[in-house]
Amino acid sequence: MLVLPPALGGPPRLTLAEGLPVQQLGFGTWSWGNKLLWGYDPEMDQVLGDAFERALRPQGLFDQNRVFFDTGDSYGTGALEGRAETLLGQFRRASASPQRVAIGTKLAVYPTRLTGASFEDACRASLQRMGCDQLELVQAHWSAANFQPWQEPALLDGLARCYEAGLARAVGTSNYGPEQLRKANDYWRERGVPHTANQVQFSLLSLLPLQSGLLDECAELGITPIGYSPLALGLLSGKYSESRLPPGPRGLLFKQILPGITPLLGLLGEIAATRGKTISQVAINWCMCKGVLVIVGIKSPEMATDNLGALGWSLSAAEVEELDVLASRVPRGATQNIFQTA
């Protein structure tokens, strides 16, 4: 539930369930267990645990808010599927500040999950992997509308069952556009189930939530928008160029997009230098200025520290407008998630 829009002054007060305020920067665990895209190795687990604990370090005025960690039951490649949930549960149990943690998991809409009970069972399996009895949030990883629309009723029923069984404090959606979002919200409202969040790809290279009216729809329905991939897989981090590309599939994608975003990266660099911030922090803060709860990947304590530097300050209206203009002129943005609905 979005309680205070940014237009009213100050950072928005974001909640994921009744009485559960969260800071505006959260952390995603997509890379945990993912060998294909992120080169995960089990030997990284100690570093990941240190990064998790660093993300919980108090941030001044944000001390009273929980830190949101996003995961999914499909995170982890091959035999490592579910690894992210397992690690997240381990880290919370071992943490010095477990009370600061809020976890949301996304249930994959696999073709074999055809009943509400199958999604409830999936949630129970996630809880078992994380070693807990209840999550703060359970979400549909994507809508079935694009590929198996007949599965959508079972999905919505399944998440409602998770809430009604006490497995989660609230339910949410992911990759839902404004039309599908309202349908889900109408169903859950009639059933008395709190629909509190909608997660969507959002960055200076992924403007669809602004262009489609999704953020306006979230505000009208009282749903917290969660923006993932605010750095567009690293394209907006300032770390890469046409002569310095990451390995694997990301490198192939970056090679196609980087030439067209030179002016945008240049402006991000100028603002970063003026403010004494990093390019990543500026790109993340732009998302925050749109009233979005931003989630960033977390692989090391150093990465957590850098990302936390996006908190506690805001770009000026003029800086936001300049970035808006250059972002709108990019010839090719980030690849859109194929499950994103209208």
Residue 48 burial by CB count (10 A; 0-12/13-18/19+): exposed, middle or buried? buried
Indicate if 110 belongs to the active site. no
Distance between CA 314 and CA 148 in Å, rounded? 41
Give the pair of three-digit tokens for residue 288.
């925050």
Distance between CA 108 and CA 140 in Å, rounded? 7
Cβ atoms of residues 307 and 281 within 8 Å:
yes
Cβ atoms of residues 319 and 76 within 8 Å:
no
Contact partners, residue 42, CB within 8 Å, separation at least 6: none
Q: Which of 75, 176, 228, 240 is catalytic?
A: 75
Contact partners, residue 33, CB within 8 Å, separation at least 6: 40, 75, 76, 77, 80, 81, 82, 83, 84, 87
Cβ atoms of residues 148 and 111 within 8 Å:
yes
Q: Coil, helix or strand for 107?
A: strand
CA distances from 90 to 27, 94, 122 (A): 16, 6, 19
Beta-bridge partner residues of 70: 28, 104
3-state secondary structure string, 277-338? CCHHHHHHHHHHHCCCEEEEECCCHHHHHHHHCCCCCCCCHHHHHHHHHHHHCCCCCCCCCC
Q: Which of 135, 58, 42, 50 is nearest to 91 (CA)?
A: 50
Amino acid letter for position 314:
S
Q: Which residues are catalytic?
A: 75
